[in-house]
Amino acid sequence: MAVALAASPGQAVPAVPAGGFGMPTPMSPVNEAIVAGDLDAAERLTDLGDRYVGQHALADAEAAFRGALAIFEAALGPADPRVADSMTALADVRAERRDFTGAESLYQRALAVNEMAYGPDDARLANPLANLAGLYLTWERWDQAIPLYLRLANLFERLLGADDFHVAMTLDHVAEAYAGQTHYAEAEEFYGRVLAILTPRLGSDNPVVQRVLAEQARARRQLELSGAKKS
């Protein structure tokens, strides 16, 4: 499979097209042929994709990351963790472009590769879990986001302790997902767990604590309203 580069690392990245980002521009990586298996070329494509992301030229970034992933897979095999990193870069762009289905498949594959390489409880699973859970939260697929965030919270708790900030913020996403489902009793409970961790650490006047308090109050109010409607 041949892929190509539009610019060497020392050259400027082409400007974002005035017509927008729907399709790769004529300046996308398509000039200099690259032999599959050339890891240096894959790294150059990855760097190019990063620069396109910085310009918000997302179609061009996707083309570059897609070429890099093809080379990495051909050279390293589909189960190498470096391939998972390349999958994640491509998935991030697809998620940004609202191609949630395309992003989901890549995030799932990246998580599976990391689980196979490191085991189910390794710290290096935190990012793949957060990526996939965050996609489902944005996508409003609450039922799929919740178990991933609970797994991530358990991972952080084992690694960092039950009162760690990362545990609290992950449980905050669980509460958000429950609220999105209108499961306000569960949302209120998880906001309470977040506050139990954050308030002693940050103080009641902290903006994060104040925001969680407001979310908990909103969930409690919705719960009261739903109970009043039923009665």
* Residue owning tokens 């957060």: 130
User: What's the confidence (pLDDT) of residue 230?
Assistant: 58
Please determine, for residue 169, whether its predicted confidence score (pLDDT) is greater than 70: yes
User: What's the confidence (pLDDT) of residue 227?
Assistant: 72
Using alpha carbons only, give the angle 185, 187, 190 rounded to the nearest 5 degrees: 110
Sign of CA dihedral 69, 71, 75, 78: positive
CA Rg value for the chain = 21
Distance CA 4, CA 89 (A): 18
User: What's the confidence (pLDDT) of residue 27?
Assistant: 45
Q: Could you tell me if 89 and 65 are in contact, meaning their C-beta atoms sit under 8 angstroms apart?
A: yes
DSSP, res 94: H
Please determine, for residue 195, whether its predicted confidence score (pLDDT) is greater than 80: yes
Distance CA 177, CA 219 (A): 12
User: What's the confidence (pLDDT) of residue 17?
Assistant: 38
Q: Could you tell me if 193 and 216 are in contact, meaning their C-beta atoms sit under 8 angstroms apart?
A: no
Q: What mean pLDDT do residues 193-214 have?
A: 98
pLDDT in tens, 116-134: 999 999 999 999 999 999 9
* More confident call, 9 vs 35: 35
Distance CA 215, CA 185 (A): 12
In one-letter notation, the amino acid at residue 87 is M
**Cα-flanking dihedrals φ and ψ of residue 10, to 5°?**
-85, -10
pTM: 0.82
The architecture of the domain spanning 120-231 is Alpha Horseshoe (1.25)
User: What's the confidence (pLDDT) of residue 40?
Assistant: 94
Please determine, for residue 12, whether its predicted confidence score (pLDDT) is greater than 80: no
Please determine, for residue 231, whether its predicted confidence score (pLDDT) is greater than 80: no
> Taking the domains of the chain in order of start, what are their residue ranges?
120-231
